[in-house]
Structure 1
């Protein structure tokens, strides 16, 4: 038994607590409908990720707003294959959304903590509707960019509130599947964007890009209207000081049972709110107090690693990348539709596997799959594509296949888990602040990748894929050594894991000792 315990601790997986209390719950239609409505936030996020790459590869859009890029693409200027789309102004079109989201998320954190998850989702829907309308009606580049900024404001609120809402509403035994539903919605949104782009590219008159940008208002409308009728989460109600009887009645409705498990869950939520008087200092607490050091590291590193997988480089610019190797406009857009379909299927598989196999297993397997794919893509690009000319049809087909394999690896690992794990590891008193850190890092790295990828592709050429592959090695090792397994644990009990972890326990135990000493000194 001692050998088994030692092995488990070495892997970063804590043994199950002997006094862990189980909650009574089942999957109810009420909670399913609530989470589906909230999931529209993920659809919006995915749509905005997917639509920009397709729009920025459309001839009509480039000819109107980026004529210099259009001339290079059409051969008007002789440049390297890797530099055809290199334009900082073009990347601003993509990255402005994420920069706005980065700035917004800190304001969204305050509103989400003080007012609840629902108000943030309503603000998100309204801002995105406005941004989509402005982008679709744009007559100059400044209108396009401002529309993207409004979309970013909406995503700042939506990405703050929706993952929290899903993780807090989900039954503990199925939290992984429900929270991974956010990434499934992201994948579906991106797939819809690719289908819309493929269809609008064929519209005569060169105004199809307007439709692509404006369609973002549809899921935003569902989110805003749906949020008006959604219940607030029990955790948020307790955080706002709501009456215990009202919260208990909501828990009974959500969980579909009135047994002792509901009381156990409510007791843990109330206990987790013991620091609510200092909840406004959540960000300061996260940074200054050692007991939150494991969560702080994860809040920074997991979204950081999610971005340096290279996924958004491919998500934003897959059509551009495929046109770089010689594909036509329609063929490139159709290939991306296939790629995204594979990603959605992989995320759906992850929803069924995450609560059975666990987070760590999917992280490790998906990381290895993406690593192999990136190395092979880089090798083919380096050996087959020069500065001029095109690759053969066979090589292009292999590249499309490898991108699909890479997308599948991301779809059942770092895609959904990059949102799930940060949403479930924070204690209630710092949960909104912790989520804001995770979302801010995500937006920051997304902005950096979106703004720099085309320039990196121009200067590093095929080496950029080896750059992302090296990060995949680092992040897989990070998960293996430092991330404990959280499957099956109620969200208010996840924080207990850190005290059993071979590395993180030194931070948690020292803080616990200080608290005990302080309590003893305070006794009369």
Structure 2
């Protein structure tokens, strides 16, 4: 039986991981509504450039928040404030999009920008919180649920869209508005819970050296008092070293050679996540499948099933990421995705089209390949990119670095999403050959440049990238005899002071 503390660890981590449901739902919402004739008519049949601009608007908001706002807010207000603020902005933006005046595409785009800002804040704070509270031996397993919750968001959006697509006559324009407004569900649940879970002990120590608050947070998620004191000592040692030997804030991201190296690596894998082809499938699978299938409700069902299997596929990361390591998943995932894209492109481009659609066997083959692509993507370049990014940075730069690196996804995504509708219109499935080549390159990059971080504590991970051991260096500053073990003398000290 798992201990009560282990169960509580999972609970608070899943509350934070719920921020990813926001991302998964929103990424799937716009993809879903593109299949609604009512949505198309409501906004006067937008052309491919406008469709691309609507996607780009979201990424602009997310990039601004992730690069410049998410890190400072998570640092100064705390990880919980970052998640709550992002959720509140998502709620406001959802109402903006749902009740946009007819034909006012600018208002709809404004809502997309605001939703990007909200998610940029939440997606910066969430993975930091999980990384700082989860025990190192199960950190990768817990963080795998971060990506799984993206699939949960997609699951909800696509099944709601499928239900609406089967009742278009009854719903009218609400066939797409219903899909949009359900987005408020998860941010409301996050706000209702987030201030009842403990704040990060690392944040408490960094802000005013609030050791008692940090100790209380750790006591809720660690089994013994000795574990609490050991981890608190390690946090103090690392933060003392970082405060004395390393600058903090955005400047530190580029001054320290070790941190700079991690920034480059994390930015590359985060950008790589979006150019594998998955980002494009999330946003444009509806118009992609229109080249294969005619029935909109059939396409909606395929998207919903894909999201359902996405949850199952992501669960593979929970037992593989800490067993086989991050590099293994990256390389196997990249090679598998490349093969799927190569075969899918070949099947579609080398088979005949009848009355604007492919034959049933060809359609089934393409859908199977897209599902197989998700099987390789979800536990590897889906889940593991977030795990790797959240764990490789030291405390003094973690919030800023995670915010900037994770939003590199949206920088890459905005570029691809803007031109992809035109690319698909002009070249069809030949575009998928590009994704096959990209995935091979990503696997090669990981093989040569990424060190393995499996089961390494956050305070000592710097050594993998050529940096100092912050625990051992900090131990000299705080005067600890054993940098890895704290003797519990707090009670005796208190009693001596009282005497």
Same fold, TM exceeding 0.5? Answer: yes
- Give the aligned partner of residue 273 of structure 1: 239
How far 1:189 sits from its partner (Å)?
Answer: 0.5
Of 100, 114, 119, which aligns to 1:155? 119
How far 1:103 sits from its partner (Å)?
Answer: 0.9
- Give the aligned partner of residue 145 of structure 1: 109
Of 42, 54, 63, which aligns to 2:20? 42
How far 1:68 sits from its partner (Å)?
Answer: 5.7
The CA deviation string for residues 149-199 of structure 1, in whole angstroms up to 9 with x for no partner, is: 111111010111001111111111000011111101111101111001111
Of 44, 48, 62, which aligns to 1:101? 62
Partner Cα distance (1:389, 1:320) in 2: 13
- Give the aligned partner of residue 234 of structure 1: 201
Of 19, 23, 29, which aligns to 1:51? 29
Partner Cα distance (2:364, 2:373) in 1: 14
Partner secondary structure for residue 224 of structure 2: coil
The CA deviation string for residues 332-365 of structure 1, in whole angstroms up to 9 with x for no partner, is: 0101111122211111121122111211111111
Moved more, 229-238 or 465-474: 229-238
| Cα RMSD, aligned residues only | 2.2
Of 264, 274, 282, which aligns to 2:230? 264
Of 74, 77, 92, which aligns to 1:130? 92
- Give the aligned partner of residue 82 of structure 2: 120
Pick closer, same or farther for the CA change 1:273–1:243 going to 2, 3 Å.
same
> Residues 186-197 of structure 1 correspond to what in structure 2 (within 5 A)?
186-197=150-161
Partner Cα distance (2:398, 2:324) in 1: 26
Partner Cα distance (1:164, 1:206) in 2: 40
Partner Cα distance (1:226, 1:179) in 2: 19
Check whether the contact 2:201–2:213 (CA below 8 A) recurs between aligned residues: no
- Give the aligned partner of residue 91 of structure 1: 52
Of 172, 179, 184, which aligns to 2:148? 184
Partner Cα distance (1:229, 1:278) in 2: 35
The CA deviation string for residues 64-111 of structure 1, in whole angstroms up to 9 with x for no partner, is: 214265xxxxxxxxxxxxxxxxx1111222221111111112112111
Partner Cα distance (1:95, 1:191) in 2: 23
Partner Cα distance (2:35, 2:209) in 1: 51
How far 1:230 sits from its partner (Å)?
Answer: 2.1
Check whether the contact 2:75–2:399 (CA below 8 A) recurs between aligned residues: yes
Partner Cα distance (1:388, 1:103) in 2: 45
1:482 equivalent to 2:449? Answer: yes
How far 1:279 sits from its partner (Å)?
Answer: 8.1
Check whether the contact 2:267–2:406 (CA below 8 A) recurs between aligned residues: no
1:496 equivalent to 2:457? Answer: no
Moved more, 158-167 or 318-327: 318-327
Partner Cα distance (1:407, 1:472) in 2: 13
How far 1:26 sits from its partner (Å)?
Answer: 8.4
Partner secondary structure for residue 464 of structure 1: helix
How far 1:61 sits from its partner (Å)?
Answer: 0.5
**Structure 1 unmatched runs, 5+:** 1-24, 70-86, 500-507, 520-524
Of 339, 356, 359, which aligns to 2:306? 339
The CA deviation string for residues 236-283 of structure 1, in whole angstroms up to 9 with x for no partner, is: 111212422331232122112212x33222122112212347988432
Partner Cα distance (1:480, 1:241) in 2: 42
Pick closer, same or farther for the CA change 1:277–1:390 going to 2, 3 Å.
same
> Which runs of 4 or more aligned residues in structure 1 lie more than 6 Å from their structure 2 counterparts after TM superposition?
277-280
Of 257, 272, 294, which aligns to 1:305? 272
Partner Cα distance (1:238, 1:289) in 2: 22
Pick closer, same or farther for the CA change 1:387–1:301 going to 2, 3 Å.
farther
Of 328, 352, 364, which aligns to 2:331? 364
Partner Cα distance (2:210, 2:117) in 1: 33
- Give the aligned partner of residue 440 of structure 2: 473
- Give the aligned partner of residue 444 of structure 1: 411
Partner secondary structure for residue 426 of structure 1: coil
- Give the aligned partner of residue 286 of structure 1: 253
Partner secondary structure for residue 356 of structure 1: coil
- Give the aligned partner of residue 326 of structure 1: 293
Partner Cα distance (2:243, 2:94) in 1: 38
Partner Cα distance (1:439, 1:42) in 2: 12
Partner Cα distance (2:341, 2:132) in 1: 35
Partner Cα distance (1:455, 1:151) in 2: 25
Check whether the contact 1:124–1:158 (CA below 8 A) recurs between aligned residues: yes
Pick closer, same or farther for the CA change 1:293–1:279 going to 2, 3 Å.
closer
Check whether the contact 2:353–2:359 (CA below 8 A) recurs between aligned residues: no
Partner secondary structure for residue 35 of structure 2: coil
Partner Cα distance (2:222, 2:409) in 1: 32
- Give the aligned partner of residue 9 of structure 1: none
How far 1:143 sits from its partner (Å)?
Answer: 2.1
Pick closer, same or farther for the CA change 1:177–1:66 going to 2, 3 Å.
farther
Partner Cα distance (2:21, 2:134) in 1: 19
- Give the aligned partner of residue 494 of structure 2: none
Of 72, 90, 114, which aligns to 1:110? 72
Tell me the matched-pair count.
Answer: 463
